[in-house]
Structure 1
Amino acid sequence: MTLVVQTLSEQIFSLVRDRIISGKIPADVAIRQDALAAELGVSKIPLREALARLEQDGLLLSQANRGFFVRPLNATEVEEVYALRLKIEPDAVAEAAKVATDADKRKAKAALDALDTAANTDKTQVGRLNRAFHMSLVRPLNRQVTIQIVERLNIISERYVGKHLEPAGRDDRAHNEHMALLELWSGGKATEVAALMHQHIAMTLEDLRKQFETEKAHA
């Protein structure tokens, strides 16, 4: 068994991050650091450290003399992030499929099982676990720069994953696509898994485009 020890700042980071992903912290008002620190039972120093990390991850933005705000979801960021994922992630997954060990495949299967469980029991964890599954298909590549770039893009994508799954029926589609990806990847079918990953990301991007266009039209 591996013992995972988190610092206080890391624990706060995880707690606040989950609240941002789930939408519990609104995007249009400054985070009340005094109130949040009191609620969490911590001082403001580790809280500020966690907020600074969340800003680096693209979930928050800071404004002089106003504090930290949740970064609003927007169509421009979607286009940029998903375009970069389309250029990098399919090839990375394909190359990883060629070298994945049996242990890597078990980890990927466990990551998908955890994602499926969360989809039925705790929607607030879906974005994080979706990232964990996608990264499990990339990590065997063992190219740290590529892995870091793909993970960074997936971190930014997490809230958009939640948005994408809002319409009914998309949970089932995502599950089926993930199952197919895992099967191809585990079988070492690099060309096929790259094509399906490209399609998976591209379809999500197209769905998000339509959602933002609909929201804009109704605004």
Structure 2
Amino acid sequence: MASPRKSSRQPLADKMYEVLLAQFTDGKWSAGEPVNIGALSRDLDVSQTPLREALARLEHTGLVRREALKGYRVAPLLSEHELIKLMDARLVLEPALAHEAARRTTPEFLADVLSTVDELAAAAKSPDDKVFSSYWLIDERFHLLIATQADNPFLVRAYQALGGQVQRFRFFATLGSARGAPGLAAEEHRAVHQALAEGDPERAAARMREHIENAKQRVLADRRSVAARD
């Protein structure tokens, strides 16, 4: 008896998750904005059930928060103190992940990492206004590839626990912090990739530490510049 064919249709909740995530990256939501599920249901022409499932997943990323008797609301911006602490945590964790990944590289892994580096370099040269959202998505793939290749379940769980707040940082960073950042980040990512390709764990960790520190300083400078203008 033939086994039933597995459906290739994407579950609607998964599709709605991707739709809402794309809306975040395209800047269609503001920090602190309430999420009207009824209005979303009408706009997207779907029932509320898959939207609620998608929002529950987004809650785990830190991008939305559920308030008792009020529903969902977009998470607020990270404070400067929170931003510093988040980047400091990344400075501890991500060099360790890069160190471990460099010890167990494969041709496939290195090709995948290089692909994200090249994509980021191309995004840096694009006149498209959506380069900001593309930048963060490519950046996420780069860091996730390295975290996964580290093959240390404890480090990976720590990265995943931190991941929601990193998403929150990415999607709610101000536009000013993205201007020029893709080109600088692409250069820093390429330096990490080079160290990985050389199989040099210490150098890979050092290049990743430099990248995170530079990203921290860029976003802090932008945040303070915006605050001074206001």
- What TM-score results when the alignment is normalised by the length of structure 2? 0.83
Whole-angstrom distance in 2 between the partners of 1:174 and 1:40: 35
1:81 equivalent in structure 2: 86
Once the two structures are superposed, the pairs formed by residues 17-56 of structure 1 within 5 Å of their partners are: 17-56=21-60
Question: Which residue number in structure 2 is paired with residue 132 of structure 1?
Answer: 141
Show CA shifts across 1:98-135 (max 9, x none): 11111211221223334444553543232122111112
2:202 alignment counterpart: 191
- Structure 1 residues 150-169: aligned runs within 5 Å: 150-161=159-170, 163=173, 166-167=176-177, 168-169=179-180
Q: Computing the radius of gyration over CA atoms, which structure comes out larger, 1 or 2? A: 2
Q: How much has 1:9 moved relative to structure 2?
A: 0.8
State the partner residue of 2:3: none
Deviation at 1:204, TM superposition (A): 1.3
Contact 1:8 1:46 in 2 (8 A): yes
Matched, 1:109 2:109: no
Matching residue of 1:62: 66
Counterpart of 2:190? 179
Q: Calculate the aligned-residue CA RMSD, in Å.
A: 2.4
The runs of 5 or more residues in structure 1 that have no matched partner are none
Deviation at 1:28, TM superposition (A): 3.6
Contact 1:86 1:201 in 2 (8 A): yes
Matched, 1:72 2:82: no
Fraction of identical pairs, as percent:
26
Normalising by structure 1, we get a TM-score of 0.87
Distance 1:171 1:135, change over 3 A: same
Equivalenced residue count is 217
Q: Displacement, 1:95?
A: 1.2
Partners of 1:156 and 1:181 lie apart in 2 by: 23
Distance 1:13 1:70, change over 3 A: same
- The alignment status of 1:92 with 2:103, answered yes or no, reads no
CA distance in 1, matches of 2:89, 2:146: 17
State the one-letter code of the partner of 1:87: V
Q: Extract unaligned runs of 5+ from structure 2.
A: 1-6
Q: 1:194 to 1:164 in 2, by over 3 A?
A: farther
1:11 maps onto 2:20 in alignment:
no
Question: 1:115, 1:153 → 2: CA distance?
Answer: 23
Evaluate the alpha carbon distance shift between residue 27 and residue 59 of structure 1 in structure 2; reply closer, same or farther with a 3 A threshold. Answer: same
Structure 1's 28 and 137: CA in aligned 2 closer, same or farther, altered over 3 A?
A: closer
Change in CA separation of 1:35 and 1:186 when aligned onto 2, cut-off 3 Å = same
